[in-house]
């Protein structure tokens, strides 16, 4: 209960401080910015949602149903845009398509008279976000399409139903829970984004919260903006749960049937068309941005490849490792303490403490800053103790924020797998006179080893990429690769952002490969 | 008149081992035929070849006198006038009973669905979803969906394997009644000899892809053509003695 309560502080802080009245700048914000924040955020969600749906479902459908050259590798390549944070894709696009951009120069050398393609507007941002976030839809939809029993497809065929009708009337509705789940993650990432929107000059809720707090120096109004954003997030969350609840279908899955799915061979124009559909997101979401970053890295490596970059990378990994360690410990504590003690009301705290994943980083940052300030004031007023340095001079607050933000990423799979293991093994151990702690270390944790490693890596990757929360809460003496790349781009030294960004991408890709390999090994072992 | 003629039908999935080898038989129109055999004997392969879901390596299949599969041509499943009910029923879980039955229909949907619901005795279930039905009801809906297209040959893959014994007995008779009422033919797979004896007119024994025996149900126990069939019969079920007593 204490762990749950402690983790939930940022949410309660925002709720409590809402009653402290509006900030000085609130009327100015309402008059000049609020409509823009709402309009742009909703338009971004809608546009990115539509494109991610198109990219994610079309590519998932093609890789699950058709055979083409290198299909096994392409199936995997489609995940790679997830390795590049969207703000880095945003910088790369301006470098490619802006005035004198590398792609523009290339096109001009081929005789095209095009000078630039304007990306720094809301449509450009939608394109960038979609190219980097569609894998959230692709991943779930692909898994769903793969899980369909062969008989579903064959019975449609026997009933004389065309491929097109099968896709729209059967496959798409059946995959809708996965599609909606993926879109929800996309929406949350769009609302969480700070770097790309700020760089493209688009006023969204998240950039608004930052501006209100840093430029206008009005924390109370930032809390009000956060509260409106929380309402928007909760509304989307409610809508998604309602839709998924309505559309959760129990397919009679037959494992032996799933693996027998015959993929059709593609030929002629159809092959060309389908390969183009797959090539678009890979090309625009991964190959072109990475090529641009490599080009920049080539231009700047003499200046940038130095001990400082190495040191920043080390700090980044150190913070991510520490955060991942505490996140796993917190998740395990929540799962096992609650199981051992059968607490009433625990479910509520569990929900609240794992809500961080659906809350944009800026909100969590504001919630933590506000509650930290209250704690500092409390100790100062009552005990004449100055503890500010503990909050602002160390990484404690940042690690705590990561725990809150990413707890759900490890908690959900760990809880699901510990439930799957059941109570029998643990209870047998208790009956043999073994203590709960010893049972945890000797029986339960070894059985959860694979899930623990996967959850650890996922949290590590998320922490490594994180930007808005790190920007708000990092101590002055700490630098991360994500923040460094952002700072260079923000200073109009975008080419110099390439190396830290590439190091980040390279490490994430390595971890994704390892995760993929590990998951396959675990699945084989389970079988 | 023959509804189905099969000659030297063979199928190998990996090019080495035959799932079905040189299978030949024919089925009289209006008859019900049970295909009996152990797992891996080629029962499902035979049904999938007849329906057109698989392509044979050699041999030919004629349905109602028309060649649907030989070395030169293969008619797609939807043009063979056959219906196929899968072991897991393959009902679309997001569609209601009415929408499932009408899925393959192009016109007169309402009327045809009403007729079929009456035939399978499930009036009033139009708006139910598959998840709200019992196993027996799901199977009846799957059969109705297949019957909607008025096939002349109905193929059922292990139709009774997921049902408890009481429901099984009831459904066997219901299916026989429906098939005879419509006047179509049916081939079904089973590994339970009781299913075969209870409702079929003909029986086929398969082992490791080879057809061991094809005879009428009334003759087969008096005319067991190989030791292997005798072994299958004694191996198939723990109640084999009871079955033979019934037959004799």
Total domain count, chain B: 1
Spatial strand order of the sheet with B82-85 comes to B66-69, B58-63, B2-12, B18-28, B210-216, B202-207, B32-37, B185-190, B153-156, B82-85
The helix or strand, by DSSP H or E, that contains position A71, with its residue range, turns out to be helix A71-77
Token pair for residue A508? 């994430």
> Measuring CA to CA, how many Å separate B224 from each of A193, B236, B247?
76, 15, 13
CB nearest to B94's CB, from A149, A161, A247: A247
Q: Tokens for A455? A: 């959850």
DSSP assignment letter at A84: S
Taking the CA of residue A274 and the nearest CA in chain B, the distance in Å comes to 24
What contacts A310, CB < 8 A, 6 or more positions away? none
Residues of A in contact with B103 (CB under 8 A): 156, 159, 161, 169
Tell whether B117 is covered by a domain. Answer: no
What mean pLDDT value characterizes chain B? 86
Q: Cα distance from B53 to chain A (closest Cα, Å)?
A: 7
Q: How many Cβ contacts (< 8 angstroms) between chains A and B?
A: 59
**What's the total number of domains in chain A?**
1
What DSSP designation does A116 have? Answer: -
Residue-wise pLDDT tens digits, B183-230: 899 999 988 888 888 889 999 999 889 998 898 888 877 777 777 777
How far CA A371 is from CA of A8, A9, A24, A365, in Å, comes to 11, 7, 20, 10
In the block, tokens 């799979």 appear at A413
User: How is residue B177 written in tokens?
Assistant: 């009644």
Q: What is the dihedral of CA A244, A245, A246, A248, to 10 degrees?
A: 70
Contact A319, A514 (CB under 8 A): no
Task: Output the domain CATH number for residue A149.
Answer: 1.10.3720.10
Judged on CB neighbours under 10 Å (0-12, 13-18, 19+), A411 is buried
Q: B114: pLDDT confidence band, cut at 50, 70 and 90? A: very high
For an interface test with A, the pick among B49, B86, B105 (most A C-beta atoms closer than 10 Å) comes out as B86
A253: Cβ contacts below 8 Å, ≥ 6 apart: A147, A149
Note down pLDDT in tens along chain A; length 527 residues: 666 667 777 777 777 877 877 777 888 888 888 999 999 999 999 999 999 999 999 999 999 999 888 888 898 899 999 889 898 999 999 989 988 888 898 888 888 888 888 888 999 999 999 999 999 999 989 988 988 888 898 999 899 888 899 999 999 999 988 898 889 889 988 998 988 999 999 999 999 988 888 888 888 888 888 888 888 888 888 888 787 666 666 665 554 454 455 778 888 888 899 999 999 999 999 999 999 999 999 999 888 888 999 999 999 999 999 999 999 999 998 888 777 776 666 677 677 777 777 788 888 888 888 888 888 888 888 888 877 777 776 788 899 899 988 988 888 888 888 877 777 788 888 888 888 888 888 888 888 888 899 889 889 998 998 988 898 888 888 899 999 999 998 888 888 999 999 999 999 999 988 888 777 766 665 55
Give the separation between CA B111 and CA B96, rounded to whole angstroms: 16
Chain B residues touching residue A155 (CB < 8 angstroms): 84, 86, 90, 145
* 8 A C-beta contact, residue B187 and residue B153: yes
Domain residues for A86?
2-526
Query: Cα–Cα distance between B8 and B59 in angstroms, integer?
Result: 5
Non-local CB neighbours of A377 within 8 Å, separated by 6+ positions? none
* Closest Cα in chain B to A247: B94
Cβ partners under 8 Å of residue A353, min gap 6: A3, A4, A7, A8, A334, A404, A407
> Is A156 close to B103, i.e. CB distance below 8 A?
yes
Q: Which of A149, A157, A249 sits opposite B77 (nearest CB)?
A: A157
Q: How far is B64 from chain A (nearest CA, A)?
A: 18
Residue of B nearest to A254 (CA): B88
CA distance B86 to chain A (A): 7
Q: Best mutation site among A144, A148, A155, A258 for testing chain B: the one with the most B CBs within 10 Å?
A: A155
Q: Measure in Å the smallest separation between the Cα of B211 and chain A Cα atoms.
A: 25
pTM score of the predicted model:
0.83
Smallest CA-to-CA distance from A460 within A360, A254, A319, A348 is with A319
Instruction: Give the chain A residue whose CA is nearest to the CA of B104.
Output: A159
Closest chain A residue by Cα to residue B129: A249
Question: From chain A, which residues contact B within 8 Å (Cβ)?
Answer: 149, 151-152, 154-161, 169-170, 173-174, 247, 249-252, 254
Is A249–B77 a contact, with Cβ atoms under 8 angstroms apart? no
- DSSP tag of A168: I
Contacts of A237 (CB under 8 A, 6+ apart): A184, A358
Instruction: Name which of B155, B137, B144 is nearest B32 in CA terms.
Output: B155
CATH number, domain of B69, equals: 3.40.50.300
DSSP H or E segment with residue B189? strand B185-190
Q: Test B88 with A159 for CB contact under 8 angstroms.
A: no
Neighbours of A425 (CB within 10 A): 12
Q: Which of A151, A160, A247 sits opposite B78 (nearest CB)?
A: A160
CA distances from A428 to A119, A335, A340, A420 (A): 62, 19, 15, 16
Find the helix packing angle between A35-65 and A219-246, rounded to 10°: 40
CA of B87: which chain A residue's CA is closest? A151
Give B 124-143 residues with CB within 8 A of chain A: 131
Q: Backbone phi, then psi, for A100, in 5-degree steps?
A: 75, 15
First CA to last CA distance, chain B? 30
Which positions in chain A touch B81 (Cβ < 8 Å)? none
- How many angstroms separate the CA of residue B169 from the nearest CA in chain A? 24
Owner of token pair 């390439």: A498
Q: What is the pLDDT of residue A345?
A: 65
Residue B104 C-alpha, separation from nearest chain A C-alpha, in angstroms: 5
List chain A residues with CB under 8 Å of B149: 159-160
Full domain range(s) for residue B25: 2-81+152-162+186-247
pLDDT, one tens digit per residue, over B123-157 is 999 999 998 998 889 989 999 999 998 899 999 99
CB contact under 8 A, B94 and A249: yes
Q: Residue for token digits 């080495």? A: B16
Residues of A in contact with B145 (CB under 8 A): 155, 159
Q: DSSP assignment of A322-356, as one string? A: HHHHHHHHHHHHHHHHHHHHT-TTHHHHHHHHTGG
Residue A321 tokens read as 């490792």
Question: Is the ipTM of this structure higher than 0.85?
Answer: no
Which of A174, A249, A254 lies at the smallest CB-CB distance from B88?
A254
In this prediction, residue A259 carries a pLDDT of: 43
Query: Is there a contact between B153 and B83 (Cβ–Cβ < 8 Å)?
Result: yes
Backbone angles phi, psi at B73, to 5 degrees: -140, 155
Q: Which residue has the higher pLDDT, B164 or B239?
A: B164
Instruction: Provide the sign of the torsion angle of the four alpha carbons B79, B82, B88, B92, taken in this order.
Output: positive
Question: What is d(CA A129, CA A285) in angstroms, rounded to the nearest whole number?
Answer: 9
Tell me the residue length of chain A.
527
H-assigned helices in chain B: 43-51, 97-102, 109-119, 135-147, 165-182, 193-199, 227-236, 240-247
Q: What would the DSSP string read from start to end of A439-506?
A: HIIIIIHHHTHHHHHHHHHHHHHHHHH--HHHHHH--TT---HHHHHHHHHHTT-GGGGHHHHHHHHH
- For residue B10, the 8-state DSSP code is E
Residue A157 and residue B78: Cβ atoms within 8 Å?
A: yes
Residues of B in contact with A158 (CB under 8 A): 51, 53, 77-78, 82-84, 104, 146
Which chain B residues have a beta carbon less than 8 Å from that of A251?
93
CA distance A149 to chain B (A): 8
- Please tell me which residue of chain B has the smallest CA distance to A154: B53
Q: Say whether residue B84 is in contact with chain A using an 8 A CB cutoff.
A: yes
């Amino acid at each position: 209960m204490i762990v749950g309560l402690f983790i939930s502080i940022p949410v309660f802080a925002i709720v409590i401080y809402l009653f402290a009245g509006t900030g000085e700048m609130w009327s100015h914000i309402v008059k000049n910015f609020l409509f823009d924040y709402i309009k742009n955020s909703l338009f971004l969600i809608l546009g990115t949602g539509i494109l991610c749906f198109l990219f994610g479902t079309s590519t998932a459908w093609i890789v699950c149903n058709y055979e083409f050259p290198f299909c096994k590798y392409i199936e995997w390549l489609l995940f790679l845009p997830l390795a590049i944070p969207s703000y880095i894709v945003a910088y790369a696009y301006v470098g490619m398509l802006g005035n004198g951009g590398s792609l523009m120069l290339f096109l001009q050398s081929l005789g095209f008279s095009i000078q630039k393609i304007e990306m720094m507007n809301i449509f450009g941002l939608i394109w960038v976000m979609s190219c980097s976030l569609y894998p959230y839809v692709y991943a779930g939809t692909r898994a769903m399409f793969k899980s369909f029993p062969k008989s579903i497809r064959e019975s449609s065929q026997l009933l004389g139903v065309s491929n097109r009708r099968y896709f729209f009337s059967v496959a798409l509705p059946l995959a809708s829970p996965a599609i909606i789940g993926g879109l929800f993650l996309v929406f949350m990432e769009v609302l969480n984004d700070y770097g790309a929107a700020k760089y493209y000059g688009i006023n969204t809720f998240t950039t608004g919260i930052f501006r209100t707090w840093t430029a206008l120096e009005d924390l109370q109004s930032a809390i009000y903006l956060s509260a409106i954003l929380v309402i928007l997030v909760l509304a989307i969350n409610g809508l998604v749960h309602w839709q998924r609840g309505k559309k959760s279908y129990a397919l009679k899955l037959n494992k032996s049937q799933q693996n027998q799915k015959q993929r059709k061979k593609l030929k002629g124009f159809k092959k060309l068309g389908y390969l183009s559909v797959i090539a678009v997101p890979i090309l625009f979401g991964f190959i072109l941005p990475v090529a641009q970053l490599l080009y920049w890295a080539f231009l700047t490596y003499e200046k940038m490849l130095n001990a400082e970059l190495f040191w920043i990378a080390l700090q980044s990994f150190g913070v991510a490792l520490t955060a991942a360690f505490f996140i796993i410990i917190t998740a395990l504590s929540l799962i096992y303490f609650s199981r051992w003690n059968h607490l009433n009301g625990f479910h509520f705290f569990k929900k609240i403490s794992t809500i961080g994943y659906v809350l944009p980083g800026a909100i969590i940052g504001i919630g933590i800053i506000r509650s930290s300030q209250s704690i500092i004031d409390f100790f100062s007023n009552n005990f004449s103790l100055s503890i500010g340095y503990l909050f602002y001079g160390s990484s404690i607050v940042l690690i705590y924020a990561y725990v809150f933000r990413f707890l759900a990423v490890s908690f959900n799979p760990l809880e699901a797998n510990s439930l799957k293991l059941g109570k029998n093994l643990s209870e047998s151990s208790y009956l043999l006179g073994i203590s709960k702690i010893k049972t945890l270390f000797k029986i339960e944790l070894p059985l959860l080893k694979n899930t623990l490693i996967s959850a650890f890596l996922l949290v590590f990757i998320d922490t490594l990429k994180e930007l808005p929360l790190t920007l708000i809460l990092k101590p002055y003496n700490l630098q991360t690769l994500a923040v460094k790349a952002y700072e260079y781009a923000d200073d109009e030294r975008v080419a110099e952002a390439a190396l830290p960004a590439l190091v980040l991408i390279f490490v994430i890709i390595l971890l994704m490969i390892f995760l993929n390999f590990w998951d396959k090994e675990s699945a084989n072992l389970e079988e | 008149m023959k509804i189905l003629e099969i000659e030297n039908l063979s199928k190998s999935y990996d090019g080495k081992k035959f799932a079905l080898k040189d299978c030949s038989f024919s089925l009289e129109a209006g008859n019900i035929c049970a295909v009996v055999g152990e797992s891996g004997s080629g029962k499902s392969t035979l049904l999938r070849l007849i329906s057109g879901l698989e392509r044979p390596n050699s041999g030919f299949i004629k349905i109602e006198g028309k060649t649907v599969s030989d070395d030169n041509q293969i008619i797609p499943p939807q043009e063979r006038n056959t219906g196929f009910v899968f072991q897991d029923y393959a009902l679309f879980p997001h569609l209601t009973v009415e929408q499932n039955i009408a899925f393959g229909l192009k016109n007169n949907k309402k009327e045809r669905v009403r007729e079929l619901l009456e035939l399978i005795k499930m009036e009033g279930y139009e708006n139910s979803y598959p998840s709200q039905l019992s196993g027996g009801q799901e199977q009846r809906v799957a059969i109705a969906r297949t019957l909607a297209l008025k096939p002349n040959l109905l193929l059922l893959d292990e139709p009774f394997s997921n049902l408890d014994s009481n429901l099984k007995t009831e459904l066997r008779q219901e299916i026989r009644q429906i098939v005879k009422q419509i006047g179509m033919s049916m081939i079904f797979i089973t590994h339970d000899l009781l299913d075969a004896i209870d409702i079929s007119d003909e029986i086929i024994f398969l082992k490791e892809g080879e057809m061991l025996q094809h005879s009428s149900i009334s003759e087969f126990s008096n005319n067991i053509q190989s030791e292997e069939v005798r072994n299958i019969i004694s191996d198939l079920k723990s109640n084999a003695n009871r079955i033979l007593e019934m037959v004799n």
